[in-house]
Amino acid sequence: MDKTTHPSRRSGPTRHIFITGGVVSSLGKGITCSSIARLLKNMGYSVRIQKLDPYLNVDPGTMNPFQHGEVFVTEDGAETDLDLGHYERYLNQPCSRHATYTSGRIYLSVIQKEREGKYNGGTVQVVPHITNEIKDAIRSIVAPEVDVVLHEIGGTVGDIEGLPFMEAVRQYASEVGRENAVFIHLAYIPYIKAAGEIKTKPAQHSVQKLREIGIIPDFLICRSEKPLNKDVRDKLALFCMVAPHAVIELCDVPTSIYEVPQVLLKQDLHTHIAKRLGLPEHECDMRAWDLMVRHIRNPKDTVTIGLIGKYINHQDAYKSVTESIDHAAYAHLVKANIVRLESETLEKEGWEEKLKGLDGIVVPGGFGKRGFEGKLNAIRWCRENNLPYLGLCLGMQAACIEFARDVLKLERANSTEMDEKTPNPIITVMESQKEIVELGKLGGTMRLGSFTCTLTKKTSKTSKCYGGADTVRERHRHRYEFNNAYRAPFEAAGMLFTGLYIPDPAQPEKSLVELIELKDHPFFVATQAHPEFRSSPVEPHPLFKGLVGAAYKHKTKGADSESATAAS
């Protein structure tokens, strides 16, 4: 990831951009926010993004992916909203735990302070105590080298639980000076088919609602199904109290979400923001970004990757995984056709049929028994049919269990997560996690964040993927690990342990298996980590690149042999 911070190009203090949403949710506020941030970064500014989420969970770590999509994990081990994934992918730079605050986290801190007597016996109230805590959260991401921070406020204007955040950002903007703070409101502009008209009234109302709170937006980004004509723009500018150039149109992009920065750039949003914030104007260097988008738009071929999991019907449950597959495909100049398969359906007779036609398979992270045997079936299929496989976290654990059952003939091999009484516990709870599991302390207690992994086999495919590096750092979120007692029989049967976490070289029994690979297979690689949290469209992750490359080779080799047969 791109960790270089540009030399500061600003004069004066860190500037702030607050992004609110109106009319309806799911307008793509996270993507819009990330796109603006990318444009500012491409102008040479040092940029950060922060999400302020009004819901009451302390973090999404214990939320069901059906409800909330994937849990994104930061380098420093915070379990966060998936929008942080967009921030990292667009900016190609890591976020910290200060990049995300929920109402739950804010309230928890205030209540803890109250219990510790830190308010000197005063009455603790939403204003000023909660709002002050929110302002501290905003300050926590400001640093001398940061030119601009974008703060995305979750939810929609008018939500009851969002009010303290709105009040806090209003106060904060006055405190830093309105010349240093910009408000951007993202609103939905519906098209009413029967009337054949675009309607601005919902957007007007949501801006009115903002004004009630004391916030007047500087820019209005219109998520619209149809282009806005001049009349509509003028009307919006007049009633929403923004300059005509500050009405920005954002229709659905044709090919990829990575086209959004270009749409905003065309309307000069970046220069208007820079001017409004008194930032010296710099050219926005889009060369690398434009090239990446060109690759997305012009794939030379397709590759079909199966994604096998429990939450397949939720669009966002495996967001970083599907994004990483896409990124890797762009790098190979192909388009990934991702086939989502519900793992439980791979437990029923005829499951093999569902896997035919796939060029590669990914089994992502997961928890619990449901659908686990289906994942094992898919993995066996890959192993036996030389089909490229990439396992992520549970996907590595499952690959080890499948190998133990089918190759080592340990038929009841399992993870103690799935079967506490298994005679062959290939995967067991980590020593450090035992007490946590017994006490049932959920939430922020797994092995979380980045750890250094030593790559142990220089000639392996894993090592080749990672460019021959000695060590790599990947992010984690798990409680279970490979049981080292089984290392020797696995190795004897052709499994390579290509990456280890070595906390103390003098105590090898404390090492954790982080990467495995099948010796005689075109590409069968699995990791205990979550490499999907480190991929960006401009810098795809090497393991995903390895998988997609191998999958494409598998596809074209198949085509070659078909045409050879046809010719003979």
**Structure tokens, 45:** 């500014």
| Least separation in angstroms between CB 373 and ligand GLN | 15
Q: SS3 for 490-544, per residue?
A: HHHCCEEEEEEECCCCCCHHHCEEEEEEECCCCCEEEECCCHHHHCECCECCHHH
Of 221 and 378, nearer to ligand GLN (C-beta) is 378
Using CB under 6 A as the binding rule, whether residue 478 contacts ligand GLN is answered as yes
Smallest CA-to-CA distance from 476 within 508, 512, 440, 516 is with 512
What's the min distance (Å) between Cβ of 478 and ligand GLN?
3
Per CB under 6 A, 72 contacts ligand GLN = no
Which residue among 154, 155, 366, 374 contacts ligand GLN (CB under 6 A)? 366
Which of 480, 490, 523, 552 contacts ligand GLN by CB under 6 A? 480
Catalytic residue (choose from 129, 185, 332, 530): 530
Q: Is 532 in the site for ligand GLN (CB under 6 A)?
A: no
The Cα 339–Cα 304 span in angstroms is 7
Q: Applying CB under 6 A, does 477 fall inside the site for ligand GLN?
A: yes
Under DSSP, is residue 72 helix (H, G, I), strand (E, B) or coil? strand
Residue nearest to ligand GLN (CB): 365
- The answer to whether residue 497 forms part of the interface with ligand GLN (CB under 6 A) is no
From the list 53-61, 291-299, 335-343, 365-373, the region that binds ligand GLN by CB under 6 A is 365-373
Nearest CB to ligand GLN, comparing residues 103 and 433: 433
Q: Which is nearer to ligand GLN, 480 or 552 (CB)?
A: 480
Beta-carbon contacts of residue 505 (< 8 Å; ≥ 6 apart): none
Task: Give the angle subtended at the CA of 527 by the CAs of 310 and 490, to the nearest 5°.
Answer: 105
Residue number with CB closer to ligand GLN (61 or 261): 61
Structure tokens at 134: 């929110």
Residue among 479, 484, 489, 539 that touches ligand GLN (CB under 6 A): 479
Closest approach, Cβ 393 to ligand GLN, in A, equals 3
Nearer to ligand GLN, 42 or 320 (CB): 320
Tokens of 177: 């000076």
Q: Indicate whether 398 belongs to the interface with ligand GLN (CB under 6 A).
A: no
What sections of 332-430 are H helices per DSSP?
A: 351-355, 372-385, 394-406
524: left (phi over 0), alpha (psi -120 to 50) or beta: beta
Q: Is 393 in the site for ligand GLN (CB under 6 A)?
A: yes
Q: What's the order of all strands across the beta sheet hosting 47-53?
A: 100-102, 47-53, 148-153, 15-22, 181-189, 219-224, 247-251
Tokens of 270: 């970046």
Q: Which tokens in the block code for residue 392?
A: 């992520």
Cβ proximity to ligand GLN, 235 vs 530, nearer residue:
530
Nearest CB to ligand GLN, comparing residues 403 and 480: 480
Handedness of CA 274, 276, 279, 282 (dihedral sign): positive
Catalytic residue among 152, 474, 517, 532: 532
Q: How many residues bind ligand GLN (CB under 6 A)?
A: 10
Query: Given the rule CB under 6 A, which of 330-338, 361-369, 401-409, 484-492 is the region that contacts ligand GLN?
Result: 361-369
* Min separation Cβ 419 and ligand GLN, Å: 13
Cβ 415 to ligand GLN, closest distance in Å? 7
**Residue type at 442 in one-letter notation:** L
Q: Which is nearer to ligand GLN, 10 or 476 (CB)?
A: 476
Nearest Cα to Cα of residue 464 among 379, 547, 520: 547
- Based on the shown chain and the rule CB under 6 A, indicate whether residue 60 belongs to the binding site for ligand GLN: no
Under the criterion CB under 6 A, does residue 88 sit at the interface with ligand GLN? no
Q: How far is the CB of 510 from ligand GLN (least distance, A)?
A: 17
Tell me whether residue 70 or residue 133 sits nearer to ligand GLN (CB atom): 70
Find the part of the chain contacting ligand GLN (CB under 6 A) among 140-148, 232-240, 303-311, 360-368. Answer: 360-368
Stretch that binds ligand GLN, among 82-90, 291-299, 472-480, 509-517 (CB under 6 A): 472-480
Contact 246, 219 (CB under 8 A): yes
Query: Nearest distance from residue 417's CB to ligand GLN, in Å?
Result: 5
61 contacts ligand GLN (rule: CB under 6 A): no
Which positions from 91 through 120 interact with ligand GLN, judged by CB under 6 A? none
Regarding 335 and contact with ligand GLN (CB under 6 A), the answer is no
Q: Is 393 a catalytic residue?
A: yes
List the catalytic residue out of 393, 400, 453, 465.
393
Asked if residues 235 and 189 have their Cβ atoms less than 8 Å apart, the reply is no
If one asks whether residue 365 binds ligand GLN (CB under 6 A), the answer comes out as yes
How far is Cα 225 from Cα 27, in angstroms, rounded to an integer? 11
Please check whether residue 23 is in contact with residue 154, taking contact to mean a CB–CB distance below 8 angstroms. no
Q: Pick the closer one to ligand GLN by CB: 394 or 516.
A: 394
Tell whether residue 367 is a contact of ligand GLN (CB under 6 A).
Answer: yes
Indicate which single residue of 232, 341, 346, 394 sits in contact with ligand GLN (rule: CB under 6 A).
394
CB neighbour burial string for 456-492, b if at least 16 within 10 angstroms, e if fewer: beeebbbbebbeeeeebebbbbbbbbbbbebbeebee
Alpha carbon 294 to its chain centroid, in Å, reads 23
Q: How many residues does the chain have?
A: 568
Nearer to ligand GLN, 394 or 404 (CB): 394
Q: Find the part of the chain contacting ligand GLN (CB under 6 A) among 33-41, 139-147, 363-371, 448-456.
A: 363-371
3-class DSSP assignment, residue 363: strand
Q: Can residue 63 be called a binding residue for ligand GLN (CB under 6 A)?
A: no
| Helix (H), strand (E) at residue 17 | strand 15-22
Residue 568, Cβ density class (10 Å: 0-12 exposed, 13-18 middle, ≥19 buried): exposed
Helix (H) or strand (E) holding 334: strand 334-342
Separation CA 471–CA 466 (nearest Å): 9
Binding ligand GLN (rule: CB under 6 A), the pick from 81, 152, 326, 417 is 417
Active-site residues, by number, are: 393, 530, 532
Residues that bind ligand GLN (CB under 6 A): 365-367, 393-394, 417, 477-480
